[in-house]
Amino acid sequence: MISTSPLRITLAQMDVHHGAPQKNLQQAADLCAEAARRGSQLCLLPELWGSGYSLKRAAELAAPLGEGLFAEMSALARRHRMALGGSLLEADGGRVYNTFALYAADGSLLASYRKIHRFRPMKEDRYLEAGAQPVVVETPWGLTGLTVCYDLRFPELYRGYALAGASLVLVVAEWPVPRIAHWRTLLQARAIENQYFVAAVNRVGEEGGQTFGGHSGVLTPWGEYLLEAGTAPALLTVDLPLDEIAHIRRVFPTLPDRRPEAYRL
C-alpha cells in the first residue's frame, strides 16, 4: 500500500573514517539528531558508514545483527523516533556480509538486506560473502526495496521490486568520483523504468586511493531530481509525494505492457 501523505526523508552524505567505528558513530549520531530536528521520518546513512572499506579488518569490525553498531543504529532510531537505515559489516556464523539494516522509529528491525552483488575492484569478493535474497519490506510509508551500491548496475533486482509493488527503493553507496556520471544515469534509469521513487545516499571523502563522489539524491518516478547534493558532506531533507505514483502509472502505464514471454533468447 502506498502512503497518501508525504514521507520526509533525510540523506546523510558523510565522509567515512577508515576503520574508526566510534568516530563514525559520533558523526552519524550528530547527523541523526539534526535529521530528527527537521522532522524527518526516515534518515539514510551511506554504505559501510561505520568502517568504510576496511575489509582486511572485516572480521574484527563486523558484528551480528542486534549487536555493535547495529545496536547503536537501533538506539538512535528509538531515541529520535525516526526510521534509520544504512549498511554495516555483519558477522554471522564465521562469515561477514555487507548488510543494509533498516530500523523502525521504535528501534525494532524492519528488515535487513545482504548485498547481493559484490564489487570485485574493491575486493569485496575476497573478504565478504554475497547475499542471496532481495528484500522488500512493508513500512509506514509503503512497500520499500533495499539495495547497496554496485547493485545499481543490475536492473533485474530493481524490476523485481517494481513487480512486487514497491513505491520506494533505497540505495546506500560508496560510489567513486571517476564513475559518478554512471551513478547519476543509473539512478535515473532505475526510477524511470520502474516508475517508483529512488532515494540514494553516497559517501564523500577519500580512502585507499579512491575519492568518493557524493551526489546523493532523491528521484521521482519520472527520473527527475527532487534534490541532489554535490561532493561535500551534506544533510539533505525533502518530502516525497508517494501518492503521485498511482497517477503516473495510470497516465503512462508501461509496466502492464511488459511481455516477458517474448524476451527469451
The residue annotated as part of the active site, out of 115, 124, 174, 207, is 115
The residue annotated as part of the active site, out of 32, 43, 47, 129, is 47
Active-site residue flag, 115: yes
Listed in sequence order, the residues at least 6 apart from 113 whose beta carbon sits closer than 8 Å to its beta carbon are 99, 100, 102, 131, 133, 134, 135, 146, 147, 148
The residue annotated as part of the active site, out of 32, 43, 129, 149, is 149
Q: How far is the C-alpha of 95 from the C-alpha of 25, rounded, in Å? A: 23
Burial class (CB in 10 A: 0-12, 13-18, 19+), 157: middle
Kindly write down the DSSP assignment for every residue of 191-254, as one continuous string: HHHHTSEEEEEE-EEEETTEEEE---EEE-TTS-EEEE--SS-EEEEEEE-TTHHHHHHHHS--
Contact between 81 and 120 (Cβ < 8 Å): no
Active-site residue flag, 47: yes
Contact between 15 and 233 (Cβ < 8 Å): yes
- How many residues would you count in the chain? 265
Q: How far is the C-alpha of 116 from the C-alpha of 138, rounded, in Å? A: 20
Active-site residue flag, 32: no
Please give the sequence-ordered ranges of beta strands (E in DSSP) within the chain, or none if there are none: 7-13, 42-44, 83-92, 95-103, 109-114, 136-139, 142-148, 168-173, 197-202, 204-207, 210-213, 217-219, 225-228, 234-240
Contact between 155 and 169 (Cβ < 8 Å): no
Q: Which amino acid is at 125?
A: D
Catalytic residues: 47, 115, 149
